[in-house]
């Protein structure tokens, strides 16, 4: 089945913006703490 290769998929989104990716870097961890402080229900995708 052919599909548009430019369309991002859920697995690509998780790999780029997921929780584990955020935890890997200092800036990512600060992003998570900011979102926790703000009271976001979802802190990462």
pLDDT value for 29: 97
Higher per-residue confidence, 35 vs 1: 35
Q: CA gyration radius for the chain?
A: 13
pLDDT at 45: 85
Q: Identify the three-state secondary structure at position 14.
A: helix
How buried is 25 (Cβ within 10 angstroms: 0-12 exposed, 13-18 middle, 19+ buried)?
Answer: exposed
- pLDDT at 1 > cutoff 80: no
Distance of CA 30 to the CA centre of its chain: 13
pLDDT at 9: 87
The pTM is what?
Answer: 0.73
pLDDT tens, position by position, 7-41: 888 899 999 999 999 999 999 999 999 999 999 99
């Amino acid at each position: 089945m052919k599909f548009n290769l430019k369309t991002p998929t859920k697995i690509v989104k998780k790999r780029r913006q997921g929780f584990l990716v955020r935890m890997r870097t200092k800036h990512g961890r600060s992003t998570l703490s900011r979102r926790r402080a703000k009271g976001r229900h979802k802190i990462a995708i």
